[in-house]
Amino acid sequence: MSKEKFNFNIRTDLAIETREMVRKEQDIEVPGVKVTVEEQKEKKITVTWVEIINKEGEKQMGKPIGNYVTVESPLMKENDVEAHEEIIKILAKQLVKIKNLKEHEVILIVGLGNWNITPDALGPKVISKVFVTRHLLENVPKQIDASVRPVSAISPGVMGITGIETSEIIQGIVKKIKPDLVIAIDALASRKTSRVNTTIQIADTGVHPGSGVGNKRKGLNKETLGVPVIAIGVPTVVDAATLVNDTMNHLIEAMLQEATPSTNFYEMLNKLNEEEKYVLIKEVLNPYVGNLFVTPKEIDEVIDRLAYIIANALNIALHPGIDLKDINRYNN
DSSP per-residue string spanning 151-186: EEEE----HHHHSS-HHHHHHHHHHHH--SEEEEEE
- Do 150 and 107 touch, CB atoms closer than 8 A? yes
- Do 183 and 105 touch, CB atoms closer than 8 A? no
Which residues of the chain register pLDDT less than 50?
1-8, 210, 212-213
In whole angstroms, how large is the CA radius of gyration of the chain? 21
Look at residue 20 in the predicted model and tell me its pLDDT: 85
**d(C-alpha 269, C-alpha 252), whole Å:** 7
**d(C-alpha 326, C-alpha 150), whole Å:** 18
Over the stretch 219-231, which tens digit does the pLDDT of each residue have?
Answer: 899 999 999 999 9
Look at residue 121 in the predicted model and tell me its pLDDT: 94
The one-letter code for the residue type at 213 is V
Q: 17-21 long-range CB contacts below 8 Å, 24 or more apart?
A: 17/190, 17/191, 17/192, 17/195, 18/61, 18/62, 18/63, 19/50, 19/61, 21/191, 21/274
**d(C-alpha 263, C-alpha 258), whole Å:** 11
Question: Hey, what CATH class is 3-242+292-320 in?
Answer: alpha beta
Look at residue 193 in the predicted model and tell me its pLDDT: 83
Look at residue 209 in the predicted model and tell me its pLDDT: 61
**d(C-alpha 196, C-alpha 241), whole Å:** 15
Look at residue 185 in the predicted model and tell me its pLDDT: 96
Q: How many CA atoms lie within 13 A of 318 on its CB side?
A: 27
Look at residue 320 in the predicted model and tell me its pLDDT: 82
Over the stretch 169-222, which tens digit does the pLDDT of each residue have?
Answer: 999 999 999 999 999 999 998 888 889 999 999 999 998 664 544 555 578 999
Look at residue 5 in the predicted model and tell me its pLDDT: 38
**d(C-alpha 275, C-alpha 12), whole Å:** 13
Look at residue 127 in the predicted model and tell me its pLDDT: 96
DSSP, collapsed to helix, strand or coil, labels residue 302 as: helix
**d(C-alpha 114, C-alpha 250), whole Å:** 34
Q: Tell how far CA 237 is from the center of its chain.
A: 11
The domain limits of the chain are: 3-242+292-320, 243-289
- Do 104 and 329 touch, CB atoms closer than 8 A? no
The one-letter code for the residue type at 204 is D
- Do 87 and 309 touch, CB atoms closer than 8 A? yes
- Do 195 and 235 touch, CB atoms closer than 8 A? yes
